[in-house]
Structure formats: C-alpha cells, structure tokens
C-alpha cells in the first residue's frame, strides 16, 4: 500500500478502513472556481472502465491534479465501475499505487482527501440493461443526488456505449444534469459510428454528449487558436498564396504494449488519423470563428472536414502509405516486432502517412501531409507550416543557403512555437546567410507544469462546456473521409509495409513527400535559437 494511503486524513477515518460514510459528503464552505471564475458545480464522475488502462493512466491522475488545485467541490465523488470484484478500499489502494508515487510529501493530506472521494461498483454492463446487481449498487450510491452534475465517462470499447447508455436509462440514472463522455474512436467505420451515435442519442440529448479527443485539450493545440486569432501577423499569410504545404506528425516510440488487443482491431488510421490528426488539421485550416463558443468553432471545423479531398480508389495507393513495425531498437533497447508482441500474424497498420488537400478558396493546391506511427525513432508531435520561398533572391551567391520560412508548432515533448527565419551570420567577410529560429519555448517562458489535456477536458465536461469536444456531425464527416482509405487498403490485398522499430517509418513514406519535391521536417534542420 502506498505511504499516503496508509495515513489517516487529518481528524478523519483512515482511507483504507471500511468505515460507514455519508451518502453525499457535505460540500466545502466556499465553492471552488476555475481560473475563468466559473463555479464548478457539485458533481459525481462515474467512470465505466474505471480500472482500465485509460482510467488509471490518465483519468484518475487528471482528477487528482484538479482536486489538488482545489477545483473539485468538497462533495465531488469519483465512482469507478468495472467488472472486477473490488471494494472501495481495494480501489483506493489500486489508485494509490498508480497516483501515490507522484504525490509530494506535502500533498499527502490532500491525497488522502482525494482517496476518500473514490468508490468502486462491480458491474457487468454487457448483459440485459440494468439486470446486473451492480446497477442497484450504483443507483444506491447516486440516490438523492439528482441536483448534482453527473458525468458518465465511458472509458470502454465503443461497442458498449449503447448498452451502457441503455443500462443507465433503465436504472433511472439519467437526469437533466447528466452528461456522457465517449472516448474515441467512436465506432470503427461510418456505419458503426452512426449506429453508436443513434443508440446513445436515444438516451442522451446531443447537448449532453461529450465526444472526447484529448489532443484538443493539449496546451499547444489550444495555443494554435490563440496564435492564429489573437495575432494579426499570421492570418494575412495563412493561405495558398504564402503557404507551400503543411505537415502534421504524431510520432511515438512506444509500441502497442498492453493495449494490443484493442489496437489490433483498430490500427493507426482509426486510432490516430481519423480523430487526433484530422482535428489538428481542422484547427490549422479552419476559418476564424465569429466567437469561441460551442458551435461556432465546431461549425468551422466541420466545414474543413467536408472540404477534404475525397480519397478515390486510385488515390489510396498514390496518396497513402501504411506500415507495420518489425523488430528493431528504440533508444538503444532491442524491441520485438508488432506481430511478436501480439503473438500472432496481423495486417494491422502501426504507421500511416498520407497526403490530402482542403478543397476551398483559402487552401486550393496546398498539400497537407499527415503521418503517425508507433515504435518510431523519436517521440514528437508537431505541426509544420512551410511558407513559400522568396519570389526573387537579392543574395544570388547565397541562394543555395536560403531556406523558406517555416512555422513549427511543437505539441510535445518540449512545447514550443518556432519560426524559422533567414539571418545573417555575424562577422565580416561578406553576407553569409543562415536559418535560425525565433523560439517561443513554453517551459522557458511560462516555466510551469502544463496540465495534462484530460485535466482541462474533464473540468470542461463538469462545467458543461462542449467547445473542445467533437460533435456528432464532425465525427461522422471524419469517418466519411477516412473510410475509403480502409476500403482501399482492404481491396488492394497488400500487407502494410515493414519498417524497423527505431526508424522514421517505411521508405515509401519518405517517397510520398519527396515525389512532390518536399521533405519531412526534422528538428536538426534548425539552428539553435537566436
């Protein structure tokens, strides 16, 4: 048991002892507020899949950090729902083992308070709605709390979104103040996404449905909106007259690990491209919304998705590359290939690179190159906006050294925005030109801990702000565009191209961009900051 959980709360019952608790803890005297001053309502967060990978790795740590910052009201409860036969005490210990090691000594009392918020309900949601005895246990726990915000977070396979929603309805747990959070991917193709949205829509109104894409909660992704719309500098250049192309990369060094069961039925296109990468593309390409409210932003993103050049059958072979990692070495450590990790041969892709276009007045003729993969040579997520070269060089002897301006938005790690400029190398002996970045490093400038994306998004759900969540029509438009790629791959019968773990992916991905006379951006092309 972690040290923090073996301690007692100041003048309270020890966390690990099963002492009787009031059904609804009484709130703290002063309601906590967000930074924006919007009060956080009393709430219960009910996590289906509460012992799973996402809950343990992301959701519980996120809730802990928000609680530690004083954002959760005193009466807030976190109720994990899973099939495991765990008591509240067992669950608190499980969470303590995951979150506890990161708790600083002076936070221990706060962590004990957090642990008191945790409950566990054993429930199998796959059966007949509300038949499992777990539904009565959940109902008992929530009884009397209809005036509180209820967040049902479905951190489960998408096949369960419908059954869980029906179960909640049958148990009478859906109130006007209830919200449901659906983890991506929503379905595995357009038809399944529609069916899931329909099923959930029979229970929850669209305004109660929060489809989460955690990339939208990342600091640098939010900063993209600020960069574009709180500065006058970029917007006049943000079009096909000045921009040559855009690259969006989400590269990981990790493999599929414990998630290979889920991942093998999904693959990189469904896992990363259909949602995270397309959402980033939308934020780069969308028109300025009239205001930052729930629908204005999502309306603009939808227009981008609808303007993506459809992938015709012939385009799939020409404009996409899929790959799968073989054994190799990452960070000097040997790692097995995907099929060895999975324990069976598979044609699931762990890498995708593709080229698309946004067919509208602003972006006509500007290619957008997207790539993502697992077990690559480095972890990096970035958006690169490559400007066009100068129309005429007044430095004829230096023309070979001239590099066109490039804006690099580094989402992770080392969040930064860098604008690559040509500069004069200091010293006499003629004009020697050299590219160097204007560098806005978030760590150097703000020097704070950046909250994990889930922290912001979870609080947005509790406060009822859906601006950063995907609307039904967005998800379906994204599937409509992505599905022909899946069909094209299936129809071709070709297996994914192999690449060694620890490399930048299959050679064909490099050829995809080099055919157009361009190259993928690599950090080392940039000199140290000015």
276 included as an active-site residue = yes
Residue 350 in contact with ligand BG6, rule: CB under 6 A:
no
How many Å apart are CA 82 and CA 156, to the nearest integer? Answer: 10
Residue 88 in contact with ligand BG6, rule: CB under 6 A:
no
Residue 260 in contact with ligand BG6, rule: CB under 6 A:
no
Q: Which residue's CB is nearer to ligand BG6, number 54 or number 78?
A: 54
How many Å apart are CA 302 and CA 305, to the nearest integer? Answer: 5
Query: Within 352-371, which residues bind ligand BG6 (CB under 6 A)?
Result: none
How many Å apart are CA 26 and CA 55, to the nearest integer? Answer: 26
Contact 473, 316 (CB under 8 A): no
Q: Which residue's CB is nearer to ligand BG6, number 164 or number 250?
A: 250
Q: Least Å distance between CB 303 and ligand BG6?
A: 24
Backbone angles phi, psi at 370, to 5 degrees: -120, 140
Give the residue among 297, 296, 295 at the shortest CA–CA distance from 283: 297
Q: Least Å distance between CB 381 and ligand BG6?
A: 6
Residue 271 in contact with ligand BG6, rule: CB under 6 A:
yes
How many Å apart are CA 279 and CA 269, to the nearest integer? Answer: 13
Burial annotation 316-339 (CB, 10 A radius, 16+ → b, else e): beebbbbbbbbbbebeeeebebbb
Q: Least Å distance between CB 411 and ligand BG6?
A: 8
Q: Which residue's CB is nearer to ligand BG6, number 373 or number 466?
A: 373
Q: How many chain residues bind ligand BG6 (CB under 6 A)?
A: 4
Q: Cα torsion at 457, 458, 461, 465 (round to 10°)?
A: -30
How many C-beta atoms surround the C-beta of residue 106 within 10 A?
A: 7
- Give the position of tokens 């003629």: 430
DSSP string, 230-285: S-SSSGGG-STTTEEEEEEEEE-S---GGGHHHHHTT-HIIIIIIIIIHHHHHHHH
Residue 252 in contact with ligand BG6, rule: CB under 6 A:
yes
Q: Which residue's CB is nearer to ligand BG6, number 62 or number 141?
A: 62
Lookup: tokens for 100: 């506890």
Residue 72 — left, alpha, or beta (φ > 0 → left; ψ -120 to 50 → alpha)? beta
Give the x-and-dash track for 232-251 against ligand BG6 (CB under 6 A): ------------------x-
Q: Least Å distance between CB 215 and ligand BG6?
A: 7
Q: Which residue's CB is nearer to ligand BG6, number 120 or number 218?
A: 218
Please give the residue whose beta carbon sits closest to ligand BG6 in the complex: 271
Q: Which residue's CB is nearer to ligand BG6, number 16 or number 381?
A: 381
Segment (H or E) for 475: helix 472-492
Q: Least Å distance between CB 79 and ligand BG6?
A: 24
Q: Least Å distance between CB 458 and ligand BG6?
A: 15
Q: Which residue's CB is nearer to ligand BG6, number 215 or number 238?
A: 215
How many Å apart are CA 262 and CA 283, to the nearest integer? Answer: 28
Query: Largest Cα–Cα distance of the chain, in whole Å?
Result: 84
Q: Least Å distance between CB 354 and ligand BG6?
A: 17
Task: Report how far apart, in Å, the C-alpha atoms of 272 and of each of 209, 268, 276, 350, 371 are.
Answer: 21, 5, 5, 10, 9
Residue 264 in contact with ligand BG6, rule: CB under 6 A:
no
DSSP string, 399-419: GGG----EEEEEEESS-EEEE
Find the catalytic residue in 65, 276, 377, 410: 276
Give the x-and-dash track for 193-232 against ligand BG6 (CB under 6 A): ----------------------------------------
CA atoms within 13 A on the CB side of 261: 4
Q: Least Å distance between CB 455 and ligand BG6?
A: 13
Q: Which residue's CB is nearer to ligand BG6, number 71 or number 260?
A: 260
Residue 460 in contact with ligand BG6, rule: CB under 6 A:
no
Q: Which residue's CB is nearer to ligand BG6, number 381 or number 416?
A: 381
Q: How far apart are the first and last CA of the chain?
A: 50
Q: Which residue's CB is nearer to ligand BG6, number 411 or number 436?
A: 411
- H-only helix segments in 69-118: 88-99, 108-116
Q: Least Å distance between CB 340 and ligand BG6?
A: 19
Q: Least Å distance between CB 452 and ligand BG6?
A: 8
Residue 382 in contact with ligand BG6, rule: CB under 6 A:
no
CA atoms within 13 A on the CB side of 216: 24
- Give the one residue of 339, 380, 381, 386 binding ligand BG6; rule: CB under 6 A: 381
Q: Which residues bind ligand BG6 (CB under 6 A)?
A: 250, 252, 271, 381
Active site residues: 276
């Amino acid at each position: 048991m972690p040290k923090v959980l073996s301690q007692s709360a100041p003048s309270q019952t020890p966390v690990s002892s099963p002492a009787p608790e009031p059904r609804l803890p009484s709130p703290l005297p002063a309601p906590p507020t967000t930074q924006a001053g919007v009060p956080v309502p009393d709430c219960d967060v009910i996590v289906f899949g509460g012992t799973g990978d996402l809950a343990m790795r992301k959701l519980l740590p996120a809730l802990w950090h928000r609680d530690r910052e004083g954002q959760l009201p005193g009466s807030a409860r976190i109720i994990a729902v899973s099939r495991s036969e765990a008591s509240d005490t067992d669950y608190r210990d499980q969470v303590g083992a995951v979150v506890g090691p990161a708790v600083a000594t002076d936070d221990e009392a706060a962590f004990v308070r957090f642990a008191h918020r945790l409950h566990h309900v054993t429930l199998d949601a796959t059966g007949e709605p509300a038949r499992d005895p777990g539904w009565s246990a959940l109902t008992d726990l929530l009884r009397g709390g209809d005036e509180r915000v209820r967040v049902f977070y479905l951190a489960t396979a998408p096949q369960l979104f419908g059954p869980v929603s029906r179960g909640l309805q049958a148990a009478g747990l859906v109130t006007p103040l209830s919200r449901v959070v659906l983890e991506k991917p929503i379905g595995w193709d357009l038809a399944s996404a529609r069916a899931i949205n329909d099923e959930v829509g029979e229970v929850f109104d669209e305004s109660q449905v929060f489809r989460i894409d955690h990339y939208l909660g990342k600091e640098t992704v939010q900063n993209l909106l600020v960069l574009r719309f709180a500065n006058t500098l970029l917007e006049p250049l943000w079009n096909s007259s000045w921009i040559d192309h855009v690259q969006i990369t989400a590269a990981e060094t990790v493999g599929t690990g414990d998630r290979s069961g889920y991942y093998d039925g999904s693959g990189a296109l469904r896992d990363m491209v259909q949602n995270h990468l397309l959402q980033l593309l939308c934020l780069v390409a969308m028109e300025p919304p009239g205001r930052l409210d729930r629908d204005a932003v999502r309306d603009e993103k939808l227009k981008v998705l609808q303007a993506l050049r459809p992938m015709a059958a012939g385009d799939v072979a020409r404009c996409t590359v899929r790959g799968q990692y073989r054994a190799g070495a990452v960070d000097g450590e040997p790692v097995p290939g995907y099929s060895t990790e999975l324990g069976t041969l598979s044609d699931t892709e762990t890498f995708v690179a593709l080229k698309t276009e946004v067919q509208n007045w602003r972006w006509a003729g500007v290619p957008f190159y997207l790539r993502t993969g697992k077990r690559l040579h480095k972890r990096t997520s970035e958006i690169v906006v490559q400007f066009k070269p100068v129309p005429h060089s007044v430095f004829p002897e230096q023309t070979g050294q001239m590099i066109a301006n490039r804006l690099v938005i580094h989402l992770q790690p080392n969040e930064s925005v860098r604008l690559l400029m040509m500069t004069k190398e200091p010293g006499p002996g003629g004009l020697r030109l050299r590219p160097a970045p204007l560098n806005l490093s978030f760590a150097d400038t703000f020097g704070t801990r950046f909250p994990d994306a889930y922290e912001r998004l979870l609080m947005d759900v509790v406060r009822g702000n859906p601006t950063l969540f995907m609307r039904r029509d967005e998800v379906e438009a994204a599937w409509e565009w992505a599905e022909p790629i899946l069909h094209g791959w299936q129809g071709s019968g070709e297996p994914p191209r192999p690449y060694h773990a620890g490399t930048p992916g299959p050679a064909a991905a490099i050829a995809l961009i080099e055919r157009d006379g361009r190259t993928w951006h690599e950090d080392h092309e940039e000199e140290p900051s000015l």
